[in-house]
Every structure is written in C-alpha cells, then in structure tokens.
Amino acid sequence: MEFFFEVLIGGLLAGVMYALVAIGFVLIYKASGVFNFAQGAMVLFSVLTFVSLLERGVPFWLAFLISLAAMLLIAVAVERVVLRPLVNRSPITLFMATLGLSYVIEGFAQALWGAQVHGLDLGISDEPLELGGMLLSQFDIFAALTAASLVALLSWLFNKTRLGLALRAVADDPLAALAVGIRLQRVWVVVWTVAGFVGLVAGLLWGARLGVQFSLSLVVLKALPVLIIGGFTSISGAIVGGLIIGASEKLAEVYLGPIIGSGIENWFPYGLALLFLLVRPAGLFGERAIERV
Amino acid sequence: MFYREAGQFNTRYAEGRRVFTLRQDRHGLAALLAVAFVVVPWVGNDYWLSAILIPFLVLSLAGLGLNLLTGYAGQLSLGSAAFMAVGAFATYNLEVRVSGLPLLISIALGGLAAALVSALFGLPSLRIKGFYLLVSTLAAQFFVGWALTRFGWFSNDSASGVISAPRLDIFGVNLDAPAGRYLLTLTVVVALFWLGKNLVRSELGRQWMAVRDMDTAAAVIGIPLAKTKLLAFALSGFYLGVAGALWAFAYLGTVEPHGFDLNRSFQILFIIIIGGLGSLLGNFLGAAFIVLFPILLSNLVSLLPSGLIDAGQVENLQKMFFGALIILFLIKEPEGLARLWQRFRERARLWPLRY
Amino acid sequence: MTRTAATQLLELDNISLSFKGVKAITDISFRVAAGEICALIGPNGAGKSSLLNIISGVYQPQEGRIRFDNRERRRMRAHDVAVRGVARTFQNIALFKGMSVLDNVLTGRNLKRRSTWIEQALRLGRAAREDDSQREAAERVIAFLHLQPWRDALVGTLPYGLQKRVELARALAAEPRLLLLDEPMAGMNADEKQQMSRFIVDINRELGTTVLLIEHDIGVVMSISDHVVVLDYGRKIGDGSPEAVRQDPEVISAYLGTRH
C-alpha cells in the first residue's frame, strides 16, 4: 500500500510541474486567445540562454533576468509580427501559425546555442527523503513547493490586485476593457512577462531534471492534455488537470505498464483527455461555447 | 494572348463539370501525363527518380489524404503520419505473411486498414469540434507509434523494429529499379487523384464542405453529420495508408515507426497549408515545395564562401525558413500556392493587358 | 387560389421550452393549414426563433406535441425533420461561405440523391445522370429567384440581400412541403422587401409550398399572410386572420401600438 502512495505522490509532484507549464499556456490563451504551440520553444530558448550565460560565469540572478528579458523581447516580436496580422482568424489558423513559430524559434535557438545537452545544476541534491516509510525525491518536493508558491502568488495577483482585475477584464472582453480605459498593450506586456516568468521557472526545474535539451520544447505536448481536462481559460483547472495527468500517468506506467507494455506515458494522457472531452467537451472548468443559430 | 479561349462553349452540363474546361488545358494535361509515363522513366537519372520524383508523388498523395479531411471536411488532424504507418506496416505484414497476394492488393488492403484505424480515431469528432479535435488525432499519433514498436509482431519480430521492404513484383514484372518504382508510384498516384477529384466534386464532397463551413446548418438541411465525418476520416485514412505503403516500399525501401512520427504529421500539414487547403493542385505544389526547398537551400549555401555556414547550421536555417514561410502563407495567402498559381494564370490570360 | 377545407399540415400542442430554468416558450398551440402563408409575429425575445428551432428539430421542447402531416413526432433531430419535407432559412445567414451559389443550392438537394458516394467516386452509370438531373433542378430554383448572374460566385463575397436570396434558394431546392423563414426580410430596404415578398408569394402560389415566416414588418405581414400568430414573452396572445389580429386589443397593446 505504501508503494501505491509513493507512486501516487511521485505522480502528483510531477503533476504540479505539468500544472506550472500549463499555467503559462493558460495565461497566454487568456491574453491573446491562442494556444501558443511555440511556448515550449520559447521556454527552451530562454532556458538555453540562462544556461549558456551561467556557463560563461554570469551570476545566477543576472542570468535569470536576462533570460526573462529575452523571452519578453521574443514575445513582443511575436505579437507584432505573427499575432496582430492574424487577429480575426480561426483558432486553427492561429494554432498553425504558432506551429510555424515554434519551428522558427527552435531553429534559432539551436543555431545560436548548439544542439548539445547542457547540464543544469540548481544546487538541490536529488537524494531521496524518507517520509512516513516512503521514499520521495528531494528535488521533486522542492519543485512542487516552488510551483505551489508560484501558484499562490499568481492567485493573489489575479484576485487581490487591481492589475489582476484588469487582466481578468481583458481576458473576458478586450473591447469592453478598452472602453473602460484599460491599456491593452500594458496588460498584455504584463501577462506575457508573468507567463515568461512562470515558463522560465518551469523550464529551469524541468531542465535540472532532464538536462537542457530539445525534448524540453516537447513539454508543450504534455500541456495540451492538461489544458483539455482543466479547460484553456482556468488556472485552477490547469492545476487540477496537471495533478490528474501527473498522477494517472505514473500510476498507469507502474500498474498497467507491466501488463500492456512500457512507454505508455506517451499516449496515456491523450487517451485520458479524449475520454474527458467525450464527457465534458469544455473541460472541467472551461467555458461552454454556445452557438446561436 | 497565345491562349485562345474564345469560341469554346459548354453545351452540356457534363462539359461544365470537367476540371479543365478549356481544350488547351486538357491537351496540356494529356501531354504532361504522356511525358510523365513515357519519357521520364527513360530519360530520368536514378537520383532524380529516387530522391525527388518518388517522394514528391508520395507526399502529394499524403497531402491529398490530409486535405480531404482537413481542407474539405474541416476536421483538423495531426495524426497523418500514424495512418501512413498503419498502411505501411499492414502492407508489409500482408506481403510477408500471406503468400501469393498481389502487391497492389496488399497496398489496397493496407490502405483499408489505415482507413479503419482512422475512422476509429475519428469517432470523437461526432462530439468534439474544432481545435479540441486535435487531441484525438494526437492520441492516434502517439498510440500507433507506441503500438508498432511495442508489439514485435508488427515488424515480424525483427530485433530493431526496422524491416526492409520485400521485392516489388507486379504481374511478374520486377519493379525494384528506380524507373519501376517510379512508374508504380505514378500509376497509383494518378489513379487515386482521379478518384479524389471525383470525390471532392461529388455530393459527398459538397457535404464535407458544408460540414466544414457550418455543421449545424448542414444537419438542418439533411446532411448526415456522423456518416459524413466518418467517411472523411476513413477515406483520408485510406489515402494516407496507401501513401505510407508507397513511402516505405517505393521510396525508402525500409519500414520503421520513427519515420512516421509527429514531425512527419507536421510535414504533411505544412504541405497542405503551403499548397492550399481544399485544392487538388495544391497538394502537388506543396509537396514539390517541401521536397525541393531543402535541396535549393543547401545548393544556395554551397554557393556562399565555404565555412561561412557549416553543415549543421543549414538544418537550423531550414527550420527557421520553413516556420517563417508557414507564418507568411497564413498571413498573406491563406489559400496557398494554389491560389497564387490561379492568380498568376488570370494575369497571364490578360497579358499584356493589366486587367 | 381557392382554399379547400384546409388540412392541417402542422399542429403544435402545448409546446413549452426552457433553457436552464428560464422559460422561453410557455404552452403554445396553433395550427398551420396546408398551402397557407402563416406569419409569426411579436416583440423581440418573444420566442419566435426558438419556436422555429423546435419545429425544425434544432431544439427539443420539454413539453408538448408536434404533428406534421398527420404524423406525431415528439423528439426529432434536425436531420429527420429535413427528411420529412421541412426546409428553413436562418436569422443570421447560415450559408456555406466557402462554396459557390450553385453548390449551396445543390446541397439543399442532398436528400434527393440516390447514388452512393462510391458510385459517384467511380463515375458509375447513374451518378452522372443524377448529376445532370440535380443540376437541372437547381437551375430551376436559381431561375425562379433570378440568381443566374451569380451562379458561380462565392457566397461569402455576395451582398447581404443576395445571400438571403441564396439561402431561400437552398431551402427551395429541397422541394419542401413546409418552408420556415426566419426574418427573411431583415436588413432590407423597401425595394428588396417588395421583391422578397413577391418571391414568397410566388413560392406559395405557384409551387404550393406552405410557408411559416417570422417577420417584423407589419405591412408585409398583413399583405401576404393568410394567418397570423402573435407571441409575447413566450406565450401566444393572438391567432387568426390578419384583420382579426390587427384589431385585437391585447395584440395592439403588446406589439402593434396605437395611433396617438
């Protein structure tokens, strides 16, 4: 029984990481109305920048700020060059544009920083911690705590500050927000900065775990099932979705794996998301689209 | 000016339904086919046949497959490569396990297998619409990729999961030479494109487009949504399956799951975006672009002073250019190269006048 | 055209519809006789479009019965309604914007097809003949509504008034028994309204199609309809000939207004 809990908690901890990644997507979706497939590539780029700066002896916090700034610059360029011209098009068109964008950024990142894997040491040991008879990874716990505090910070930001109110207004109805004097550009910059921050932290945690390499940009493929389950517009949904995907993925791998075969974590989240969609087409927390004929 | 259109009238509805209503266009097509079938196998060198024309033809076919589903029926799919894989592996298994099965039948049955798998993963489209439908085809992509590696039976228990294609024999004639493989591919592609042309211009094609444009209205005027959508998935799957079999047998000579990964699905999607959604010609144009562009780029790079851009960087440049082009097409010409071609032709008709 | 003892083509009894607790339609009953033009009028939000959606199978009522052509139907999907011979237009144009006028009209005839997709794909025998007959029928409708010059135009590029006409053509192409029109003249000027009214009357007189239309222009309603039903806040407050309804005090106070 303890083993089950060990796996479960391990999965939940991983799920917190997924949630963190998904939150970045939710923020962008709320601000720009697009599922930004290039998010992974952008995070990868900023993490690569961070790591390369570290390797050249730049102090941690400076490197962090510079990477964040790089991410923001890219975001601004993306909005100007890609999103604005496509402003009224279907979500599928926007998605395909972000697909193209991810190719551009990936190619650029690889051209700039090279294709080798960079190690990232955040100074947290990976020795297992024993808690109540279960072995848990110290690193996982640290990551989960970081993610949880970020989420708490974001909730405070969105719900208790004026800025958060403006963000929610813009997400709900940009035109109406404009009409009451909210500066769309500013709000937009804030959202992308926050998303960039969240993305960078998530990227650093992932990178420390897996090594900074190109599979990092594939983290976006993990975010999609989370968003499907949790809804594209809800941060709490992203958290719940992340936890569900993380836990079920680990449990499936451990318990179903021996029966069906290893490596099912690739498609299992998608299968789960599919089942969810069939039951609740708008996700757990998402908004139902009503079609007026 | 050189192209006399005047005096050609359609007197029967059937004439108006032709793809090429102008006599010159029909002659042109006939000439092109004659050259393709008769001249090219003799004149073409092995490199052009094997590395350029065959993949071009197969990718055009794959593009048409995805176009039927996404361009005409409006169901977004990122699982194209998975269905190609099903077709390839099914054909391989049939060839290897069922002795005496003619190659063309195996390929057709492989396509059928892919059609069934595609229809299965298309079932969610009855309930899910638009962007969310991606999840289903992505699930297909990952699941099929996993299943083909996991169960050794599919690859006849070869150690690496990679299998090589058996001999290509049709009616006793061996087609393993580049010219032979080219002719096989060309014949299949031409036949399936003829079929595809009939499909998209038929009632089913209109039903697809109706579902794409507004499915609630389509239901109200009596179009059976479930049947229409599932047929789109099935037929698309069939085309992709055949394309997959040809890709493995006529082009690569080996069959492996990795060649049919998510990147391949993206590639096919790019073909139809660049070529033009909902267009037959677009598939050819998009595929030509995808096949020729990397070659063009490396040739361009080799013209620059050596050492300026090393080999590894070329791939990165390619990636960046590709992505940029996708974005450019989506912004500037969402109907792709096919529309650009159409505009060019309209200009050419009036030349030297401007309008 | 003389009206014989009219058979009731459509009978609605005690229809009620609610959306999540909000009652949109309460206990509505009326009859539409075969061959007549019946107008459904009332203030905005009275439930007229919802009623039309119920009749065409897009919404399912919580209570009530519908009889069409003497056959009872309780729950019926839009597709089945179309099969039974009901066609409609929509308030916000629901044309297939990516297709030409001709193709849109042809889609209206999709239920008349007998050949299967396989026959059409392989160009077997009756597929080609059917293509011709379908085209002929579509051309007749296009000619009836004077749409020939725009036959090959992409519907999305046409002006609003023409799009409305194309939608009407698509509905007509199905050769329906009952034609439901949801504000066919919305957004039109006086000339266009005259033209559309003539088309509707022609459809009724020459083709014998029963018409049930939602319309706000009272002048049009009074001049072309045989039967008027008035709704207000989801209830029926008037039902009879145009003259009778025009003089009904409840209708006047709710909708028509009085001369000051």
- Strand blocks (E) in chain C: 8-19, 22-33, 37-41, 63-68, 71-73, 86-88, 178-182, 210-214, 227-232, 235-240
**Residue range B289-313: average pLDDT?**
78
For residues B80 and A144, which has the higher predicted lDDT (pLDDT)? B80
* Ordered DSSP codes for B288-315: HHHHHHHHHHHHHHHHSPTTSS-HHHHH
Check CB contact of B10 with chain C, cutoff 8 Å.
no
- A64-68, A231-235, B340-344: least confidently modelled range: A231-235
Q: Is residue A14 situated within a structural domain?
A: yes
Q: Which chain A residues are within 8 Å of B317, Cβ to Cβ?
A: 107, 111
B112 pLDDT band, cuts 50/70/90, is very high
Report the chain B residue with the minimal C-alpha distance to residue C108: B221
| DSSP-based helix, strand, coil % in chain B, nearest 5 | 75, 0, 25
Q: Is residue B61 situated within a structural domain?
A: yes
Question: Domain residues for B144?
Answer: 26-260
d(CA C236, CA C47): 10
Q: Is residue A179 situated within a structural domain?
A: no
Question: Domain residues for A132?
Answer: 2-158+190-279
Distance from CA of C19 to the nearest CA of A (A): 12
What's the CATH code of the domain at A118? 1.10.3470
What is the 8-class DSSP label of residue A56?
T
Count of domains for chain A = 1
Check CB contact of C53 with chain A, cutoff 8 Å.
yes
> What local confidence, expressed as pLDDT, does residue A284 receive?
67
CATH architecture assignment, domain C8-256: 3-Layer(aba) Sandwich (3.40)
Q: Do residues A237 and A285 make contact, with C-beta atoms less than 8 angstroms apart?
A: yes
Count of domains for chain B = 1
Distance from CA of B11 to the nearest CA of C (A): 12
**What are the CA-CA distances from residue A227 to residues A68, A223, A272, B54, B100 (Å)?**
24, 6, 12, 40, 50
Cβ–Cβ of C94/A292 closer than 8 Å? no
- From C78, C117, C132, residue closest to B219, measured CB to CB: C78
**Residue range B308-327: average pLDDT?**
81
Element containing residue B164 per DSSP (H, E): strand B163-164
Q: Which two tokens stand for residue B282?
A: 């677009």
Cα–Cα–Cα angle for C186, C235, C27, rounded to 5 degrees: 125
> What local confidence, expressed as pLDDT, does residue C5 receive?
46
What is the 8-class DSSP label of residue C119?
H
Check CB contact of C94 with chain A, cutoff 8 Å.
yes
Where are the domains positioned within chain C? Answer: 8-256
List chains adjacent to chain B, taking adjacency as at least 3 C-beta pairs closer than 8 Å.
A, C
> What local confidence, expressed as pLDDT, does residue B161 receive?
62
Q: Is residue A50 situated within a structural domain?
A: yes
> What local confidence, expressed as pLDDT, does residue B160 receive?
64
Cβ–Cβ of C79/B212 closer than 8 Å? no
> What local confidence, expressed as pLDDT, does residue A286 receive?
60
pLDDT at A154 over 50: yes
Neighbours of A88 (CB within 10 A): 6
Q: Is residue B282 situated within a structural domain?
A: no
Total beta-carbon pairs less than 8 A apart between chain A and chain C:
7
> What local confidence, expressed as pLDDT, does residue C257 receive?
67
> What local confidence, expressed as pLDDT, does residue B78 receive?
92
pLDDT along chain C (260 residues), means of 10: 62 87 88 92 87 90 87 80 91 91 93 86 85 92 94 92 94 94 90 93 93 91 92 90 88 72
Cβ–Cβ of C95/B198 closer than 8 Å? no
pLDDT at A64 over 90: no
Q: Is residue B286 situated within a structural domain?
A: no
Neighbours of C43 (CB within 10 A): 13
- A283-287, B164-168, B197-201, C105-109: least confidently modelled range: A283-287
Q: Is residue A284 situated within a structural domain?
A: no
pLDDT at A293 over 70: no
Element containing residue A135 per DSSP (H, E): strand A134-137
Q: Which chain C residues are within 8 Å of B219, Cβ to Cβ?
A: 77-79
> What local confidence, expressed as pLDDT, does residue C44 receive?
83
Q: Is residue A28 situated within a structural domain?
A: yes
Q: Do residues A66 and B289 make contact, with C-beta atoms less than 8 angstroms apart?
A: no
For A175-221, the pLDDT digits (tens) are 777 788 877 777 777 888 888 888 888 888 877 776 666 566 677 78
Percent pLDDT > 70 in chain A is 85
List chains adjacent to chain C, taking adjacency as at least 3 C-beta pairs closer than 8 Å.
A, B
B308 pLDDT band, cuts 50/70/90, is low
Check CB contact of B112 with chain C, cutoff 8 Å.
no
Omega before residue B352 within 30° of 0, cis: yes
Distance from CA of B284 to the nearest CA of A (A): 20
Q: Do residues B186 and B54 make contact, with C-beta atoms less than 8 angstroms apart?
A: no
Cβ–Cβ of B231/C117 closer than 8 Å? yes
**Residue range A66-82: average pLDDT?**
86
**Residue range A113-133: average pLDDT?**
68
> What local confidence, expressed as pLDDT, does residue C4 receive?
44
Q: Which chain C residues are within 8 Å of B210, Cβ to Cβ?
A: 96, 99, 107
Q: Is residue B307 situated within a structural domain?
A: no
| pTM score of the predicted model | 0.88
Mutation site, A90, A93, A293, interface C, largest C CB count within 10 A? A293
Cβ–Cβ of B124/A277 closer than 8 Å? yes
Q: Is residue A121 situated within a structural domain?
A: yes
The 3-class SS string of A258-290 reads HHHCCCHHHCHHHHHHHHHHHHCCCCCCCCCCC
Q: How many residues does chain B have?
A: 355
d(CA B242, CA B254): 15
For B17-47, the pLDDT digits (tens) are 777 777 777 888 888 888 888 888 888 788 8
A288 pLDDT band, cuts 50/70/90, is low
pLDDT at B244 over 70: yes
For A90-101, the pLDDT digits (tens) are 777 888 888 899
Rounded-to-10 torsion of CA A277, A281, A286, A290: 170
Task: Kindly provide the ipTM of the predicted complex, given to two decimals.
Answer: 0.86
Q: Which chain C residues are within 8 Å of A293, Cβ to Cβ?
A: 53, 58, 90-92, 94
d(CA A221, CA B137): 13
* Phi, psi (rounded to 5 degrees) for C66: -125, 135
Neighbours of C230 (CB within 10 A): 24
